[in-house]
Structure 1
Amino acid sequence: MADIDALIKKYFVQPDDTVPPSEPMPATFSGCQITPLIDGTTYFDELKTQFAGVGTGTPSENANQFIYIAGWHLHLMGGKILPAPGSSGTYLPTVDLEKPFSLDGPGAAATLIDLLKKKAKAGVDVRVLGWASFAVMADNFVQTKAVQNGLGSIRDVNLATLASILELRTEPALAEKAWVNILTHSAGAAHTKLVIVGKGDSAVGYTGGLDFAGDRHGSQPHPAGQWHDVQAKVEGPVVQAMHDFFRDMWNEVRGRNVRTLRMGFTNIASHTPGSPALGPRPLSTTTVAKHRVQSLRTLPQFNYTSTNRLPENDKISFAPAGLFEIRTAWINAIKAAERYIYIEDQQFWSIELMKALREGVTTKPELKVLLVTGLRDPADPKYPPYTLVALTQGLLKGLTPPQRAQVAMFSRNVVVHSKTTIVDDHWAIIGSANFARRSLYTDIEHSVAFLDEDDEKDTALVRQYRVKLWSDAFRLDPADQQKIIDINKALNVWNTSWGTPGSGVTLPSSVTPVALPTAEKKLSDKEQETYDLFSDVDSKTPWGACSV
C-alpha cells in the first residue's frame, strides 16, 4: 500500500502553501471516486444515463431531484447566430453546430434543451447558469473599437448562450431558473463546465473542459480535426463542495441588480431577483472509493483604474478578495514533481507556471516536461504569440542544452481542448482552467485534483488515467494499452532519448514534435495592450480602458 499521508503532504496543497484570503486551504475530501471521461461522446453518454435517472415519477415524487448546470458555451439551439447590430463579421458555424445540441450526437432528434424542459416540467429542480459578458452584451457589442478587437471572439459564444437561456425560459417551470452568470470581471468569463445531478442527499458531479456545443462530440480513434477533451465524473463527499459552489454563485446572482443583455433586438434580463434562494443541501458523506480529492476554484478580484470608462462589477460577497485555489494547487504539484510533468492544454500562456516548470528542470536533472497541444479552437482568436512569450521568457530562458533536452512539446492533429496535468503517476488535475493567467486569477473556474490510496497498483487511478490519455494520443487499442503502463517505456515513446525502449509502441504520424524556440519573444506595445486588457487578464492588476 502506498503511504497516502506522504503523497498528500507532497502533492496536495497544505496549510503552509496557502496565502489567505485569496489562496486559502482548498476543501479536501477522502472516500471519493474520480472517473476521467475522455472525449465528448464518453461524457455525453454518461450524462444521458444520469439524466434518465431523474424525473421519472410524479412531480411530487421528483420534487427532491435536481440538475444544476453552470456553463461557458451553451449552444443548445444550434443554427446561425445573428451578429449584434453595429458589429462586424458573421457567424458561420460548422455542420456540427447547425442543429440543436443533442447528447446523442450532432443532428440527433432528442435535443438537450427539450430534455431539460421535460425534466423541469416533471418537477425536477433544473437550474442553468449560462455565461454572457455583462460588459459586452449589454450594449450589443458596440462599446469601442478596442473592445470589439479584443473581445470579438466571445461574441458568438455569448449570443448562442443567450439564445439558449431565452428558449429555456419558454418552459414555465424554467422561467425563473435559467439565468445569466453576471459575476465576472469586466474582461473575464464564467468558464466553468459544471454539472451536478442528484436525488435527495445523493449526487454526482462533472467538471472539465466540455461545453454543450455540437462540435464537442469526439471519440477514439479521432479523425483529423475532431475535438479532444476531458471531463471528470466526481462521486462521494467532494460533490458537496461542487454543489455548494453552484449554490454560492446562484444566490450571488440572485442578490445582484438585474443586468439587461441584448441578443439582436431582444432585451434579456439576466435573472429574476425575487425568486427564492437556493437553500443548503447536505449530501451523503458515505465512502465510495479510495480517491482523495481537492475541489479547486478561481474567482476574480475587481480592481479598476480611475480612468476606466467601461462597465465595472462588484466584488463577489463569498470571495471578496478572489480565490486562486487552482493556481496554488498547480504550483505546488509542479514543485513536487520528480519524474515527469505532462500537460495537455489549448493555451500555454502563463509565464508564471512556465517559470515554475523551469525551476523544476534546473534543479532536477531526471525531471521530464511534456507539453501537448493541438489545432486551434475555432472559437478562439487568431493564434496569438503568447505561447512563444511564455516558453521563451518562462520555461526555456537560460536553460543549458542538457536541460532543454528535458523538455518536449508535441502537437496533435485534433483540437486539443482538454485542461489537464499529470505529475509522476501520482497527482492529476482535470477541470475548466487553462494553463493561462486568466484561469489562475480572472475567469471563474473549477477543477479537481486527485490522488489514489492504492497508488502503487498498476490499476491506480492516476496511472490508469495517464495510460488511457496517452493511448488516445498513440492510437492504441485497449488490448495494447498495457504496453505503456511502465512509465519509463511510455516516456520513451514520446522521446527516444527518454526512459527505456521496449514498449513496441511508436509515435503515430498524427502526433508531431514542435521545435522549441531559441530566440526570446517579446510582445509589441499593441500586443501587450491586447494581452493585458482582453486576452489574458490578471484581476489582481487594476484594469481599465477608455471608451473613445
Structure 2
Amino acid sequence: MRLLALASLAVHDPEAMSILTPGDTCWRREHASRAAFLVDTEAYFNALAEILPKAQKSIYLLGWGFDPRTRLAPDGFDGPDDPDEIGRILVELSRRRPELDIRLLIWKSALPISASQNFFPHRGRRWFRGTTVQLRLDESVPLGACHHQKVLVVDDAVAICGGGDISVDRWDTAAHLDDDERRIMPDQDYHPPRHEVMMMVDGAAASALGDLFRARWRRSADEVVPKSTPSSADPWPTRVPAHMHDVEVAIARTEPAWKRDAMIEEIRRLTLTSIFEAKDIIYLENQYFTSPIYAEALAARLADPKGPEVVLISTGYSPSWFDQLTMDRARNNMLWRLQAADIFGRLHAYWPVTRSGQEVIVHSKVTIIDDRLARVGSANLNNRSGGFDTECELAVEARNDDDRRAIGALRDRLVGHFMGCTGDAVAKARQERGSLGGAITALNTDRRLRLLGPRKMATLGNVIAAFHIGDPADVADSWRVFRRRERLYQAARRLHQAVAEGRERALQASSKSITSGR
C-alpha cells in the first residue's frame, strides 16, 4: 500500500486545500442540490418506501446481502402476504411499469455466509422469476474477497449509500429499544438492536453512483447498461428534509486487483488523510477497528500535544462467532496501541447498550472530522476494506458556516442518540466541558456508552490477532498469511517514522508500498 504524503497533510492550512482530491482520496466529486443523513434503518426504509414507487426509468441496487422478504414498515407481525416486503414492492412495480429497468447486483456469498442468511440472496432469484426484475449474484472478486458496496440509485436522480443492507435483521429505530416487536424476522424470532447510517444525495452525485453500478454490472454480466434518460419526476422523498444544500459530494472506492484491473484504494488514502487533517475532533463509528495503519495514524495524533481528541464507537462483541474470533481479537491490539499513545487523555472509546444493558450492534461506517468533513459508506476500519473487498462511500466537505453547522449537528446527534439525549444537549455539554469526551462523560449517566478497551486473550486469540487471520490488506496479502504481520507492521513503522522525521522523510515514505520488499 502506498502511504500518503503525511507531512503535507499535517502541516498545510486545512482552509487552503481540500481533503477530497479526485484521483487520490476519491474517484469523483459531483454536485448535489440536496444531501441528507439517514440515521438508523427505520429512516432508510421509510425513504425507500417513498422513493421506489416514484421510479420512472430505473432502480439499481448494489448490496452485500439482500432478502426480498425484508419489510420496509414492520408492525410487529410477520405473515406470508405482507405488502411492504421489498420483493413484493419490486414485483408489483415491474408489473405496473414493465419498461422500468430494475436490476439488483448482490454479492454471491460463500456457502457458510449464505447458510447464516437462510440461503438468501441465492434463493431470492426464484422470487423474481417471470418478472422483469433482474437479480444477479456477482462473484467478480478474487478468492476470499467480497462485494461490500451498498448503493441504491433511482432514475440516476436520487441515490443512497452507506453501511446498511436490505435484509430481515437490519431494521431498528434510533431509540434502540430493549424489546421492540417490530424487529421480528420471518422465522418469528427477533434480532438485536442495530445501528446504521446512510447518506442520500441527488443530481450529478446520484448519477455518478449510477455510473458505478453500470460499471459493476458490465464487469459481472459482460453487458452494457444504458444510462437512464432524465426524468421530469423528482423521486426525493417528501418526508426527508435535506441537511445540506448545493454541496460537492465525493465518491471514494475500494476495489481489489482483479484480472486486468489494478487495485483502487481511495478510501484507505482518504482515511489517512482525514486523520492527519483533524484539528479538534476525530469521530469514528465503525463495526471493526483492526488496521495497524489506521491505528498508527491515530496514535500519532494522540501523541501530538496539539492533536485532536479521538472518539471511537464500535460494537462491544461482534454478533458472529467468526468475527469474534478474528476482528474482535485483532481490535484488542489496536486499542492497546492507542492507549499507549494517549498520554494527553484524548482517547474515548465506547460500545453502546440499551437502557437495560443489551448490546447495540454498531454496523455504521461514519467518519466526521471536526465540523469540516463527513463521510458515510460501507468501509470498515480493517485491512480488507482498504484493498481487498469492494467498498463505496460518500463524503462532503464544509464550504460555509451552514455546512459546518450541519456536519457538527450530525456528529452531536449521533453521539446523543446512543445516550438517549438530543444533539442539542451534546452541543451544549460540549461547549460547557470544552470537549466531546467531556460532554459524553457528563451526559452518560445511564452508562449506555460503555468503555471499550483491550480484553485478555488466550494463546489462540493472540495468534489470530497477530497475523490478522481473515483480514488481508490486498490480494497479494491474502496468499501470505504468515507474512501479513510483518508487512502490516513494517508499513505502520514507516508511517510512524515518517511522521517523526518530518516532511522530506514522509514524502519518501509515501512512495513505498505495503508490499514492497517482499
Q: By the TM > 0.5 criterion, same fold?
A: yes
Structure 2 gaps, min length 5? 1-11, 179-191, 235-241, 354-359, 482-518
- Verify: 1:461 aligned to 2:402, yes or no: no
> Which residue of 8, 20, 30 maps to 1:13?
20
Deviations, residues 194-246 of structure 1 (Å, cap 9, x unaligned): 10012xxx510001111111221111311244111101111232112211000
Q: Give 1:93's aligned residue.
A: none
Shift of residue 421, structure 1, vs aligned partner:
1.0
Shift of residue 407, structure 1, vs aligned partner:
1.0
> Which residue of 127, 130, 141 maps to 2:106?
130
Shift of residue 374, structure 1, vs aligned partner:
2.5
Shift of residue 515, structure 1, vs aligned partner:
3.7
Q: Give 1:536's aligned residue.
A: 471
The code of the aligned residue for 1:301 comes to A
- Verify: 1:450 aligned to 2:417, yes or no: no
Shift of residue 292, structure 1, vs aligned partner:
2.4
The code of the aligned residue for 1:180 comes to L
The code of the aligned residue for 2:86 comes to L
Calculate the TM-score normalised by the size of structure 1.
Answer: 0.71
> Which residue of 184, 187, 190 maps to 2:144?
187
Q: Name the CA distance, whole Å, in 2 between partners of 1:74 and 1:519.
A: 35
Distance 1:380 1:452, change over 3 A: farther
Q: Name the CA distance, whole Å, in 2 between partners of 1:541 and 1:195.
A: 31
The code of the aligned residue for 1:210 comes to G
Q: Is the 8 A contact 1:207 1:430 kept in 2?
A: yes
> Which residue of 342, 348, 357 maps to 1:408?
348
Distance 1:214 1:519, change over 3 A: closer
Q: Give 1:160's aligned residue.
A: 120
Distance 1:545 1:158, change over 3 A: farther
Q: Give 1:88's aligned residue.
A: none
The code of the aligned residue for 2:107 comes to W
The code of the aligned residue for 1:112 comes to I
The code of the aligned residue for 2:84 comes to A
Shift of residue 490, structure 1, vs aligned partner:
4.0
Structure 1 gaps, min length 5? 55-61, 77-99, 142-151, 256-275, 303-313, 497-504
- Verify: 1:280 aligned to 2:227, yes or no: yes
Mean CA deviation greater in 228-237 or 28-37: 28-37
**Could you say what secondary structure the match of 1:365 adopts?**
coil
Shift of residue 364, structure 1, vs aligned partner:
4.2
> Which residue of 35, 60, 67 maps to 1:75?
67
Q: Is the 8 A contact 1:393 1:520 kept in 2?
A: no
Q: Name the CA distance, whole Å, in 1 between partners of 2:174 and 2:332.
A: 30
Q: Give 1:323's aligned residue.
A: 264
- Verify: 1:354 aligned to 2:295, yes or no: yes
Q: Give 1:384's aligned residue.
A: 325
Q: Give 1:289's aligned residue.
A: 245
Q: Is the 8 A contact 1:430 1:447 kept in 2?
A: yes
Distance 1:375 1:115, change over 3 A: farther
Q: Give 1:514's aligned residue.
A: 452
The code of the aligned residue for 2:125 comes to I
Q: Give 2:366's aligned residue.
A: 420
Q: Name the CA distance, whole Å, in 1 between partners of 2:348 and 2:430.
A: 20
Q: Is the 8 A contact 1:240 1:282 kept in 2?
A: no
Q: Name the CA distance, whole Å, in 2 between partners of 1:237 and 1:408.
A: 38
Distance 1:398 1:420, change over 3 A: closer
Q: Give 2:214's aligned residue.
A: 247
Q: Name the CA distance, whole Å, in 1 between partners of 2:388 and 2:28.
A: 20
Q: Give 2:177's aligned residue.
A: 223
Shift of residue 251, structure 1, vs aligned partner:
0.9
Shift of residue 460, structure 1, vs aligned partner:
2.6
Q: Name the CA distance, whole Å, in 1 between partners of 2:474 and 2:368.
A: 27
Q: Name the CA distance, whole Å, in 2 between partners of 1:494 and 1:277.
A: 50
**Could you say what secondary structure the match of 2:20 adopts?**
coil
Q: 5 Å matches for 1:83-122?
A: 100-105=69-74, 107=78, 108-121=82-95, 122=97
Distance 1:24 1:167, change over 3 A: same
Deviations, residues 50-100 of structure 1 (Å, cap 9, x unaligned): 11213xxxxxxx4xx111011111122xxxxxxxxxxxxxxxxxxxxxxx2
Q: Name the CA distance, whole Å, in 1 between partners of 2:414 and 2:438.
A: 16
Q: Name the CA distance, whole Å, in 2 between partners of 1:415 and 1:12.
A: 30
Q: Give 1:491's aligned residue.
A: 437
**Could you say what secondary structure the match of 1:333 adopts?**
helix
Calculate the TM-score normalised by the size of structure 2.
Answer: 0.75
Deviations, residues 327-371 of structure 1 (Å, cap 9, x unaligned): 111110101011111111111111111111111112243411111
The code of the aligned residue for 2:266 comes to E
Q: Is the 8 A contact 2:63 2:105 kept in 1?
A: yes
Q: Is the 8 A contact 1:338 1:364 kept in 2?
A: no
Q: Is the 8 A contact 1:433 1:447 kept in 2?
A: yes
The code of the aligned residue for 1:162 comes to H
Q: Is the 8 A contact 1:11 1:427 kept in 2?
A: no
The code of the aligned residue for 1:278 comes to V
Shift of residue 540, structure 1, vs aligned partner:
4.2
Q: Is the 8 A contact 1:357 1:395 kept in 2?
A: no
Distance 1:156 1:492, change over 3 A: same
Distance 1:292 1:401, change over 3 A: closer
**Could you say what secondary structure the match of 2:290 adopts?**
coil
- Figure out how many residues of one structure are paired with residues of the other and give that number: 433
Distance 1:390 1:482, change over 3 A: closer
Q: Give 2:45's aligned residue.
A: 44
RMSD of aligned C-alpha atoms? 3.3
Q: Name the CA distance, whole Å, in 1 between partners of 2:304 and 2:332.
A: 18
Q: Give 2:490's aligned residue.
A: none
The code of the aligned residue for 2:224 comes to A
Shift of residue 509, structure 1, vs aligned partner:
2.2
The percent of aligned pairs where both chains have the same amino acid is: 19
Q: Give 1:237's aligned residue.
A: 204
Q: 5 Å matches for 1:45-60?
A: 45-54=46-55
Q: Name the CA distance, whole Å, in 2 between partners of 1:543 and 1:458.
A: 41
**Could you say what secondary structure the match of 1:173 adopts?**
coil
Shift of residue 483, structure 1, vs aligned partner:
3.2
Q: Give 1:262's aligned residue.
A: none
The code of the aligned residue for 1:332 comes to T
